[in-house]
C-alpha cells in the first residue's frame, strides 16, 4: 500500500493490512484464490456425492421392493409406484435441505403423506407398510448428505437393517400363514345366515365361488328382500392378488 505525506511528498510502502482490505471489499490474491478453489472443490464433491447417494438409495429400495415385496405379491402396479416414490422422495428431501427450508420441509412431509388420500382405491395394510418403509429409507439416505459425522458404515447398517427386518418377517409370515383376501357377498339364501347353519353357509359359498373359505361375517340383513351382506375370507392361490375385495358394486 502507498502512503503520501503532503508536508513531505515522499512515497512510503506499507505492509498489507487484511482489516483495511476487508473494509474496502478487497482481498489479497492468495486468499481469494484459495477461497475459490475451496468452493470449486465443494461443488465437485457435491456433484460426485449426490449421484452416488442417488444410486445407493435406488439399489437399496430395489432390493426391498423386488426381492422381498414383489417376489411374494407379484403386483407390478405397486412395484412401479414404490420405485418412483422412493426416488422422488429422495430428491425432494435433498432439495429441501439444500435450500434450508425448515418450515417447508415439515409441510412437505405432511403434503406427501396427504397425497396418499388422492386414491379412489383403498391401499391394503401390507402395501401401506412397505410404502412407509420406502419413505423412511429415502429420508435416511437423503438427510445423510447433510449430516455431519455420519459414516458410510452407519448408513449402510441402517439400510441393511430395514432389508433384513422386512425379509425376515415376510419369510416368517409366509411359513406361518396362508395369503388370504376378503370379498363382500350379497347373499340371497337368508335362511343360512343363522349360527346353527354356519357350516351349510360356508359349504354353499365354497361351491359357488370355488374358494376355500376360512371365515365369514354376517353384516347388514334386509328382510324385505331376503338378502344379507356377508364378508367372506378365503385363501389366495399362489401369485394371486385381489385389489377390489371390499367393493360391492360400481358407483
pLDDT at 163: 93
Specify the pLDDT at position 193.
92
The Cα–Cα gap between 51 and 158 comes to 19
The verdict on 188 and 171 lying in the same domain is no
245 in a structural domain? no
DSSP-derived 3-state class of residue 185: strand
Buried b (16+ CB within 10 A) or exposed e, 161-175: ebbeebbeebeeeee
**How does residue 248 score in pLDDT terms, banded at 50, 70 and 90?**
low
Lowest-pLDDT choice from 111-115, 185-189, 200-204: 111-115
Sign of CA dihedral 118, 123, 125, 131: negative
Q: Are residues 208 and 126 in the same domain?
A: no
- Give yes or no for residue 235 having a pLDDT over 80: yes
Structurally, how many domains does the chain consist of? Answer: 2
β-strands 180-187, 213-222: how paired? unpaired
Structural domain includes residue 161? yes
CA 2 from centroid of its chain's CA atoms: 64
Does a structural domain hold residue 44? Answer: no
Is 14 among the domain residues?
A: no
Single out the residue in 127, 151, 176 at which a domain terminates.
176
Q: Name the residue range of residue 195's domain.
A: 180-235
Band (pLDDT 50/70/90 cuts) for residue 92 is confident
Residue 205 within any structural domain of the chain: yes
* pLDDT score at 1: 47
Residues 58 and 172 in one domain: yes
Domain ends where: 156, 176, 196?
176
Q: What is the pTM of this model?
A: 0.58
168 and 204: one domain?
Answer: no
pLDDT of 245 higher than 80: no
If you average pLDDT over residues 20-34, what whole number do you get?
Answer: 51
Residue 66 lies in a domain: yes
Residue 134 in domain: yes
The answer to whether residue 56 sits within a structural domain is yes
Amino acid at each position: 500500500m502507498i502512503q503520501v505525506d503532503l508536508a513531505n511528498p515522499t512515497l512510503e510502502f506499507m505492509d498489507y493490512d487484511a482489516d483495511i482490505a476487508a473494509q474496502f471489499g478487497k482481498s489479497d490474491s492468495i486468499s481469494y484464490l484459495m477461497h475459490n478453489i475451496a468452493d470449486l472443490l465443494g461443488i465437485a464433491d457435491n456433484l460426485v456425492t449426490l449421484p452416488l447417494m442417488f444410486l445407493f438409495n435406488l439399489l437399496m429400495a430395489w432390493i426391498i421392493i423386488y426381492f422381498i415385496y414383489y417376489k411374494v405379491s407379484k403386483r407390478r402396479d405397486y412395484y412401479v409406484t414404490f420405485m418412483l416414490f422412493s426416488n422422488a422422495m429422495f430428491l425432494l428431501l435433498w432439495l429441501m435441505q439444500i435450500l434450508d427450508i425448515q418450515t417447508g420441509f415439515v409441510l412437505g412431509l405432511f403434503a406427501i403423506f396427504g397425497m396418499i388420500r388422492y386414491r379412489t382405491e383403498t391401499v391394503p395394510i401390507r402395501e401401506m407398510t412397505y410404502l412407509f418403509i420406502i419413505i423412511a429409507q429415502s429420508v435416511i439416505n437423503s438427510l445423510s448428505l447433510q449430516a455431519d459425522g455420519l459414516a458410510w458404515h452407519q448408513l449402510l447398517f441402517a439400510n441393511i437393517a430395514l432389508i433384513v427386518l422386512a425379509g425376515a418377517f415376510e419369510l416368517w409370515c409366509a411359513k406361518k400363514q396362508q395369503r388370504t383376501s376378503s370379498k363382500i357377498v350379497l347373499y340371497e339364501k337368508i335362511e343360512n345366515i343363522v349360527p346353527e347353519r354356519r357350516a351349510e353357509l360356508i359349504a354353499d359359498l365354497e361351491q359357488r365361488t370355488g374358494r376355500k373359505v376360512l371365515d365369514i361375517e354376517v353384516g347388514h340383513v334386509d328382510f324385505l328382500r331376503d338378502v344379507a351382506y356377508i364378508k367372506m375370507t378365503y385363501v389366495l392361490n399362489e401369485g394371486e392378488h385381489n385389489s377390489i375385495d371390499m367393493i360391492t358394486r360400481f358407483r
